Structures are given as structure tokens and as C-alpha cells.
Amino acid sequence: MRATLARRVKERRHSSKMSQRDLAERAGIRQALVSQIELGEANVTLDSLLRIAIALDVDLAGLFAAKGDDPRAGSKHS
């Protein structure tokens, strides 16, 4: 699950043309945490995941969906 999260956060961040620092600032978290998440090393809290999802403009489920699955259909951030 961490590997999927790592890949999806990085993919979404790149598609949004954000650096790790940009994402960290938008999400109100440390850049080191973004790096750890993308490396699959972080034990991240639900609060941080929600902040990241909002910063990336994706539903929380979108951080765990397989590539090609896009749960953004429907309401965002629910």
C-alpha cells in the first residue's frame, strides 16, 4: 500500500507541475514528509493524507487508485 501511495502522490504532483516543496507548502506539511511518502518510507497520518489530497485536487481514494482509475469523478475531498 505504501508503494502505491508513493507512486500516486509523485504522479499527481508531477502532473500538477509541483515540486515537493510546493506540495508541502500547499498541504501545510514538511517537505521531508513529502519525500518520505514518495519513497514509501512514511507512516503518514490520515490528516496529512487528506491535506495532500486537497493540495493535489484529488479525492483521498485517488491517492490509492491504480493508474488509469480516476476516482475524481464525483465530489472532491469527500
Model confidence band, residue 1 (pLDDT cutoffs 50, 70, 90):
confident
pLDDT tens per residue, range 12-32: 999 999 999 999 999 999 999
Which pTM does this prediction carry? 0.81
Q: Which CATH superfamily is domain 2-63 in?
A: lambda repressor-like DNA-binding domains (1.10.260.40)
Q: Concatenated DSSP letters for 7-70?
A: HHHHHHHHHTT--HHHHHHHHTS-HHHHHHHHTT-----HHHHHHHHHHTT--GGGGTSPTT--
Q: Is the pLDDT of residue 42 over 60?
A: yes
Cβ-based neighbours of 9, under 8 Å, separated by 6 or more: 23, 34, 37, 38, 52, 56, 63
Q: What is the mean pLDDT of residues 28-51?
A: 96
Q: Which pLDDT value is given to residue 75?
A: 39
